[in-house]
Amino acid sequence: MNWLREHRLFTVISGIVLFLCLVIIISFLTAGGSSFLGRGAHSLVHKFEKPLMTVTSGVRNTVAGVISYNDIKKENEELKAKVEQLETENSDLSIKREELKQLKKLSNSFNFEPYQGRSKAVAARITELDSSNPYVVFTVDAGTDKGIKEDYIVVDGNGLVGRVMEVGSDWSKVVSILSQNNNISFRVTRKQSITGVVQANSKGELEGFVMNEKAKIVKGDTLVTSGVGIYPEGIKIGKVREVDYDENKQLKVITIRPTVSFDSLQKVAIFK
């Protein structure tokens, strides 16, 4: 008796199961007959049939739901992995496209008039920027090992970048046209008789003046190197963005937008 009290739930369930089995057996033997015992057994089975089917169906649906959830979770993880893979591939593709774009720009640098037909040039990649003056002075991965010397001219596919100011065994420092110490003589392509000098201001912007105050230089004019000084003639410098007249200096002053996109500059060509 103590055992029955301690296992009350098990005893009740077992009793119900045995009772139902007995009822089912009686119902089978009477074959659904019209006797009182047959009708009673049939009615009793019918009462228990619906709840049992509901419980069975619930268990089946729960198991199916768990299986379905696990399948969806696995599929979701696979999709996430695929998305990450595609994002990585897209990133790599973007890098390759940018690399190709830079190389195409660099190849254009060999078409500048002063360098057409010359093969003595070195392609170099920018490896270090001056944190205080980005792109005013920067380092490239070519030096004496590739025959680079001071004052060699540096360009990219769009125009004049600057000149080599210091050389190491496998590196060179370049001072760009954005430096205040880099004066450049120019002429206007539209009218070559218009000449002047360009240099950077304290804001890192290009500005300059025209030798002849009466010269009709206008916004949008393209400036190229004149050949006076260390820079060969014909390399693009930039386009005139604004024209003013300085009463104190009695000079026609201009501001210039460089043709080189220094913010995205990665590769350059150094001409010997």
pLDDT at 258: 94
pLDDT at 119: 52
**R_g over Cα of the chain:** 43
The structure tokens 């060179």 sit at 172
pLDDT at 55: 45
Q: In sequence order, what DSSP letters do the residues of 189-212 get, joined into one string?
A: SS-TT-EEEEEE-TTS-EEEEESS
User: DSSP 3-state assignment of 145?
Assistant: helix
pLDDT at 95: 41
pLDDT digits (tens, 9 = 90+) for 171-225: 999 999 999 888 999 999 999 999 999 999 877 789 999 988 788 999 999 999 9
Class of domain 184-261: mainly beta
In angstroms, the CA 35 to CA 44 distance is 14
The region, left, alpha or beta by phi > 0 then psi within -120 to 50, assigned to residue 151 is left
CA dist list (Å): 125 to 105, 141, 146, 243, 258: 13, 6, 13, 35, 20
The structure tokens 């139902």 sit at 20
Taking 70 as the pLDDT cut, the residues of the chain under it are 1-71, 73, 75-76, 82-119
In angstroms, the CA 68 to CA 62 distance is 10
Q: Say if residues 153 and 163 touch (Cβ distance below 8 Å).
A: yes
Q: Say if residues 211 and 226 touch (Cβ distance below 8 Å).
A: no
pLDDT at 248: 81
What is the 3-state secondary structure of 207-229? EEEECCCCCCCCCCCEEEECCCC
Domain locations along the chain? 1-111, 184-261
Global model pTM greater than 0.85: no
In angstroms, the CA 139 to CA 130 distance is 8
pLDDT at 152: 94
**Could you tell me the sign of the dihedral formed by the alpha carbons of 52, 57, 62, 66, in that order?**
positive
Residue 96 CA, distance from chain mean position: 11
In angstroms, the CA 51 to CA 39 distance is 20
